[in-house]
């Protein structure tokens, strides 16, 4: 009986290459907090751009542009990305709201003045979807930061 010849394909790895790789991994591990922060910063930039697009007509109707300009992000503790708006009506659009007059709300709509006791603003999420969409790219952002540090020279 003939014995089958095993088929093997490999790449020769020298002790020097393994030592270099080990050093690169060791160096990169000390950079992990920085890598994480840089990846979150890039993700924050993406999320801010998406939220501004949503506020400028992607989800909401653009009026003055104040909501669009109010969007910003921050990285807290190197591990948490916060996307926020300091506009007083940002939450009303994101979560919906019921606004009550004292006793009346008076406003112009369609060229006519209206006088009502309350107005219901429907929920129109625009901030959270931007953050969720940007967060899908976080692994790629981490890879962008980590890969150059792992290259064996």
- The answer to whether residue 1 sits within a structural domain is no
Contacts 24+ apart (CB under 8 A), 147-151: 149/24, 149/27, 149/28, 149/31, 149/35, 150/21, 150/24, 150/25, 150/28, 151/24
- How many structural domains comprise the chain? 1
The pLDDT tens digits for 13-30 are 455 666 776 777 777 788
- The answer to whether residue 27 sits within a structural domain is yes
Sign for the pseudo-dihedral over CA of 85, 88, 94, 95: positive
- The answer to whether residue 33 sits within a structural domain is yes
- Distance from CA of residue 71 to its chain's centroid? 12
The pLDDT tens digits for 45-96 are 999 999 999 999 899 888 888 999 999 999 999 889 999 999 998 999 999 9
pLDDT exceeds 70 at position 152: no
Give the structural domain span for 74.
15-96+123-150
- The answer to whether residue 106 sits within a structural domain is no
Task: Residue 101: count other Cβ atoms within 10 Å of its Cβ.
Answer: 13
- The answer to whether residue 146 sits within a structural domain is yes
What is the pTM assigned to this prediction? 0.76
- The answer to whether residue 6 sits within a structural domain is no
């Amino acid at each position: 009986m003939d014995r089958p010849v095993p088929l093997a394909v490999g790449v020769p790895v020298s002790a020097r290459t393994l030592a270099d790789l080990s050093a690169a991994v060791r160096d990169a591990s000390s950079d992990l907090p920085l890598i994480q922060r840089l990846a979150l910063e890039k993700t924050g930039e993406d999320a801010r751009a998406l939220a501004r697009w949503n506020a400028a007509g992607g989800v909401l109707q653009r009026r003055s542009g104040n909501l669009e300009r109010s969007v910003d992000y921050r990285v807290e503790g190197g591990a948490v990305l916060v996307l926020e708006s300091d506009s007083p009506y940002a939450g009303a659009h994101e979560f919906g709201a019921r606004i009550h007059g004292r006793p009346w709300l008076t406003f112009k709509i369609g060229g006519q003045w209206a006088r009502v006791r309350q107005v219901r603003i429907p929920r129109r999420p625009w901030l959270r979807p931007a953050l969720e969409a940007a967060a899908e790219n976080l692994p790629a952002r981490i890879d962008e930061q980590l890969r150059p540090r792992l290259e064996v020279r």
